[in-house]
Structure 1
Amino acid sequence: MIYRFDAFELDLAKFELRAEGQVRPVEPQVFALLALLVGNRERLVTRDEIIEKVWDGRIVSDAAIASRVKSARQALGDDGTRQRFIRTVHRQGFRFVAEAKVVGSAATQDATPPAEHASRPSVAVLPFRLLGEAGPYAAIADALPHELIAELARLRWLFVTARGSSFRLRGADADAAGIGGLLGVRYYLAGTVEVAGARLVVTVQLIDTRDGGIVWAERFAGAVDDVHQVREDIRARILSALEIHIPMHEAVRARLATTGNLDAWSAYHLGLQHMYRFNRTDNESAAALFRQSLTEDPGFARAHAGLSFVHFQTAFMHYTDDRAGAIALCRRFATRALELDPIDPFANFAMGRSFWLDGDLDSSLAWLERTTSISPHYAQGIYARAWTETLAGRAAEGRGHADLAMRLSPLDPLYYGMLGTRAFSHMVDGDDAQAATWAGRAARAPGAHVLIAMIAAAAHALAGDATRARAWAAQVRARNPALTRDDFFRAFPMQSASLRERLSTALARLGF
């Protein structure tokens, strides 16, 4: 992804800051800080989040943070007095305040829908824009488009861009053609949400990305207390506008079963915002919000699946020494979600990943195949299936599904994992040169966690590139000195004994 602001471009794929087309060198941590602030320009980024993202949660001083902020400002020709780009919010954090827009992405050169879907309509649903102060109803601006994505993705005839990519364009100042090029879609759905007293007003527009024309627009208004009826009306009108030729009762059956309690519903969607950031602090915040949702409505299946997800993250990222306990909780909440809604794709996805943590790839794959059968365009499910197939030795299938996940969600916050899956698939086939290329891309991608860097170290060692292998190994040790080969193989329970032996030897040579 490339962000443009003032005379600068921040190219996340090439890891470059450019001023009027000329590369302006910056240290890796300074670049990571800039990427974090620009990518979250709609909100304040706290000091704790900066530590989690830039320093991987290691203890650092306020002076270290201040030093990186100063360097970032200097790279942009800014200073602590003018604060044209980076504003300090005293004792809280920082915010990027210059106007920025998404102008392109190397990752999206192949972002068009797969060839087999080329004749089908394709759509992206962007996060709605919140007008004014909505108080406890602020979650509606994210929750409405999220539910539309989940619902539309169930329909096999329609190519739907995943939430992980479309929500990256939050507040992006891109024209219709730019959005179409970035996400590879013919249409996008955008809207606004406003709460004025006791009234809720939602406007929606369906726009043709080829000429910028408004295909359909509607304004919905009602009492805040009737928010769920308004939500149902929006769903029905959008389905009609997209000329869905299926009986109304089947459209209703396809809809996600959601709670009737606004507090529970809002807490769940706020939890999602934290869950996908993949750091310890946000993971804990997501868990608290999902628990709050279940306090209000114990029968809300997706909140149970959300808790399963956060416990998966806890076990996978080693946030706790009690890994077995985290796995048990991951399984328990997934089981409860399925009891409440057995055809929910998120619940099936959560159950599949719980078996992955145990190294039971056959059971994991069975659940993930069911997930993608229920929701064929669910990019997260396809990506998890690709990882599992690859670890089970089915490299060609895993590679195909990794490519599909990347096409469905070219701006996904877990895109680095999709690249890492691609790298692993080449290692399974013994094509170490290709594995090293893909692993390097994965480890350099924004948000890549330390285990991805470990994949890059091993892949380059297998490819005979000792210099780069040592460099990636050094980065792993700088980020997590305690990481071992055992940790690596617990995270990636591959079935191939020969691949495990090759990787074990390569990692041992690097000192792991």
Structure 2
Amino acid sequence: MMISVDNTSPDNGSDQGRPRRRTAATIFIDVVGYSRLMGSDEEGTHQRWMSMRSDVIEPRVASNAGEVIKSTGDGLLLEFRNPVDAIRFALGMQMHLAESSSAGSNPLQLRMSANVGDVIAERDDIYGDGVNIAARLQEFAGPGGVVISGAIHDQVKDHLRYQAADLGFLTLKNIERRIRAFKIAHHDLRAPTISVAHSLKPSVAVLPLQMLGLQAADAYLAQGIVHDIVASLAGIRELFVVSSTSTLGFTGPTVDPGAVCHRLGVRYLVTGTLKRHGELLRMRVELIDVDTRSMLWTNQYEASISQLFDVQETIATSIAYALLPHIHISELQHAERKAPQSMNAYDLVLQGMYRLYRLGHDDMLAARSLFERALDHDPQYAAAYALMAKWYILHIGEGHSTDFKADSREAFRLASRALEFEPSDPMALAIFGHINSFLFGAYDRAIDAFDRAIGGTPNSAIAWSLSASTYCYLGDGPRAVARASYGISLSPLDPYAYFYQSALTNAHYTNETFDDAVHWGTKVMAAAPQFAANLRLLAASLVAAGSLERAREVGAAHMRIDPSFSVEKYCSWYPIKQPDRLALLGERLIEAGLPR
């Protein structure tokens, strides 16, 4: 049952001039491009707006028990006693305008935003936080769009039928806390689409560690660790991270995670304790998904007080990169629960990434389709372009390409496009670098891209790991091993860890530490048996290590995955710089049973 929101004070009417507080649903309506329209036809535009107000908007407001509070020139502020009536009005207006447009008339384009909350009412106006939020949400609506706050969505979603796309928590001008919002559409219209620019990144806050057994004078220890964790997380561009100064007030064991997340506008919380046992400090850290009230990850770290300042940055980095894969999995599961038509660009990229790394033929096709849909939603989404470029890397590397040159050019175009929108994004730079060395043999240009990625984000696992491959092509085994090992250390729990581990197969093969190459190649084969690029290097490493029978077993597994493979065709493009090393790789593959 919907609760009435007419909460006027008991002394209503006793002091007509005194402002009154109440809870109300408010809607802002705005004419899109009004100034431009007035510039080209002032009189005609004004007349069309006045006619729409009197003939369409005001009667619909009245029929939904609402009131026009004031005009803003090119817009209106409306108030409704009941949130359901407010959203019913907005959806009805949206449908009316869509039908008018399809019937051949040319109505003015409107955008609308709605919120429910406390307002302060005077004789002919309302104002306050509830009104301000509704006003600030309007900029996210777009032509014909309706954006509503999470507060009003929660009150009406079980009473009205409509399509909704989650915008996440938005940062609104002059609003202290972040506000969750949804873009909605009438159920008979096209599902709403949104841009990742609207704060769709996973949002995280790190709360102060609870000090157990420490003196108040030791508070700087806990604060220093939290500051470093936040700094490490902030270096991960996929996350929205609340500053550590914004969380300092949330201390003590009685803090309610739900209230904290609502206040800060985040979904994930990092909490923990810091205990002292003599000179030993023991820290336990947890990652909580507040939406599902579940703990996603926990771990414990130890250091002596004398060592803390030396190791706290390392601990903070370890925590940050241990959290990331769990957040990825949580976000993917969240996306998979949505109806396909309600997924936004971020959800589509997550699902595309998941399918991409499964490597099967159907999965690869599905991944490409998901990335393309993400770009339909948001044509400026750098991550979608970068992952599409990576799709081509795997498409070629796994032996699926029928036109190497054309597919290489498309990979380069997509990677370059990603950098147009995010010039310093480490993933985009790393993929751009790998394409240059892997597909074009442009090693210097590749190293420059990797250096830019690592210089801007020193803890980028993908940049370190992919750069190892370039040093493999150049024949620098020690540097390749060092880079691949560091890449794995940065993302030890990644659900796609095999991709980083395969860099170590290649690195150890290049370094001629063949037993280690076999170890990592076997590990990757167990996790991703369809990864043909790894099987080739594993087979060659087994031949070099003297395990010819096992090498032929791996070679046979490879041919079941890629039956059209030939060593000569592969060696015609594989980018090992030194001809003698490339020829030796070919000979070892032939010894492993792969066709010449």
2:580 equivalent among 484, 493, 498: 498
The match for 1:429 is 511
How far does residue 461 in structure 1 lie from its aligned partner after superposition?
0.9
The match for 2:272 is 208
**CA 1:414–1:293 in structure 2 vs 1: closer, same or farther (change >3 Å)?**
closer
**What's the CA shift string for 1:311-348, capped at 9, x where partnerless?**
22222223331222221111112222222221122221
The match for 2:337 is none
**CA 1:266–1:459 in structure 2 vs 1: closer, same or farther (change >3 Å)?**
closer
How far does residue 271 in structure 1 lie from its aligned partner after superposition?
3.4
The match for 2:385 is 304
How far does residue 216 in structure 1 lie from its aligned partner after superposition?
10
Find the aligned partners of 2:586 and 2:575 in 1 and give their Cα distance.
Answer: 13
Instruction: Check conservation: 1:458, 1:503, Cα contact below 8 A.
Output: yes
1:464 equivalent among 546, 549, 554: 546
The match for 1:50 is none
Instruction: Check conservation: 1:201, 1:219, Cα contact below 8 A.
Output: no
How far does residue 454 in structure 1 lie from its aligned partner after superposition?
1.9
Find the aligned partners of 1:364 and 1:506 in 2 and give their Cα distance.
Answer: 28
Find the aligned partners of 2:203 and 2:230 in 1 and give their Cα distance.
Answer: 18
Find the aligned partners of 1:420 and 1:216 in 2 and give their Cα distance.
Answer: 29
Instruction: Check conservation: 1:267, 1:290, Cα contact below 8 A.
Output: yes
For structure 1, which segment, 343-352 or 211-220, has the greater mean C-alpha deviation from structure 2 after superposition? 211-220
1:363 aligns with 2:455: no
How far does residue 400 in structure 1 lie from its aligned partner after superposition?
0.8
Find the aligned partners of 1:310 and 1:477 in 2 and give their Cα distance.
Answer: 21
Instruction: Check conservation: 1:308, 1:334, Cα contact below 8 A.
Output: yes
Q: How many residues align?
A: 308
1:375 equivalent among 437, 445, 457: 457
| Secondary structure at 2:564 match in 1 | coil
How far does residue 274 in structure 1 lie from its aligned partner after superposition?
3.1
1:332 equivalent among 410, 413, 418: 413
Amino acid at match of 1:496: Q
Instruction: Check conservation: 1:160, 1:377, Cα contact below 8 A.
Output: no
Instruction: Check conservation: 1:442, 1:448, Cα contact below 8 A.
Output: no
| Secondary structure at 1:347 match in 2 | helix
Amino acid at match of 1:348: L
The alignment yields a C-alpha RMSD, in angstroms, of 4.5
Structure 1, unaligned stretches of length 5 or more?
1-130, 150-154, 167-190, 194-199, 221-241, 244-260
Quick check: which has more Rg, 1 or 2?
A: 2
**What's the CA shift string for 1:182-206, capped at 9, x where partnerless?**
xxxxxxxxx999xxxxxx9855321
Instruction: Check conservation: 1:439, 1:456, Cα contact below 8 A.
Output: yes
Identity %: 21
The match for 2:555 is 473
2:399 equivalent among 318, 321, 328: 318
| Secondary structure at 2:453 match in 1 | helix
TM-score in terms of structure 2 length: 0.44
1:282 equivalent among 340, 359, 363: 363
**CA 1:347–1:424 in structure 2 vs 1: closer, same or farther (change >3 Å)?**
closer
Instruction: Check conservation: 1:451, 1:488, Cα contact below 8 A.
Output: no
Instruction: Check conservation: 2:270, 2:287, Cα contact below 8 A.
Output: yes
Amino acid at match of 1:347: A
How far does residue 359 in structure 1 lie from its aligned partner after superposition?
2.7
Amino acid at match of 1:208: G
Higher relative contact order (CA closer than 8 Å, sequence separation 6+): 1
How far does residue 290 in structure 1 lie from its aligned partner after superposition?
2.9
| Secondary structure at 1:314 match in 2 | helix
Find the aligned partners of 1:299 and 1:412 in 2 and give their Cα distance.
Answer: 27
Structure 2, unaligned stretches of length 5 or more?
1-153, 170-195, 206-227, 240-256, 275-281, 292-314, 317-341
Instruction: Check conservation: 1:302, 1:347, Cα contact below 8 A.
Output: yes
The match for 1:169 is none
Alignment of 1:13-162 (within 5 A): 137=165, 146=202, 158-159=231-232
Amino acid at match of 1:204: Y
1:416 aligns with 2:498: yes
**What's the CA shift string for 1:25-63, capped at 9, x where partnerless?**
xxxxxxxxxxxxxxxxxxxxxxxxxxxxxxxxxxxxxxx
Instruction: Check conservation: 1:192, 1:202, Cα contact below 8 A.
Output: no
The match for 2:566 is 484
For structure 1, which segment, 293-302 or 458-467, has the greater mean C-alpha deviation from structure 2 after superposition? 293-302
**CA 1:204–1:420 in structure 2 vs 1: closer, same or farther (change >3 Å)?**
closer
**CA 1:148–1:316 in structure 2 vs 1: closer, same or farther (change >3 Å)?**
farther
Instruction: Check conservation: 1:349, 1:381, Cα contact below 8 A.
Output: yes
**CA 1:269–1:447 in structure 2 vs 1: closer, same or farther (change >3 Å)?**
same
Instruction: Check conservation: 1:392, 1:495, Cα contact below 8 A.
Output: yes
How far does residue 159 in structure 1 lie from its aligned partner after superposition?
4.9
Amino acid at match of 1:206: V
Find the aligned partners of 1:457 and 1:267 in 2 and give their Cα distance.
Answer: 36
Find the aligned partners of 2:491 and 2:432 in 1 and give their Cα distance.
Answer: 22
Amino acid at match of 2:545: A
**What's the CA shift string for 1:262-297, capped at 9, x where partnerless?**
944444444334333333333333333333333333
**CA 1:460–1:267 in structure 2 vs 1: closer, same or farther (change >3 Å)?**
closer
The match for 2:374 is 293
Instruction: Check conservation: 1:140, 1:266, Cα contact below 8 A.
Output: no
Find the aligned partners of 1:272 and 1:192 in 2 and give their Cα distance.
Answer: 30
Amino acid at match of 1:504: G
**CA 1:395–1:311 in structure 2 vs 1: closer, same or farther (change >3 Å)?**
same
Find the aligned partners of 1:462 and 1:327 in 2 and give their Cα distance.
Answer: 31
Find the aligned partners of 1:269 and 1:504 in 2 and give their Cα distance.
Answer: 37
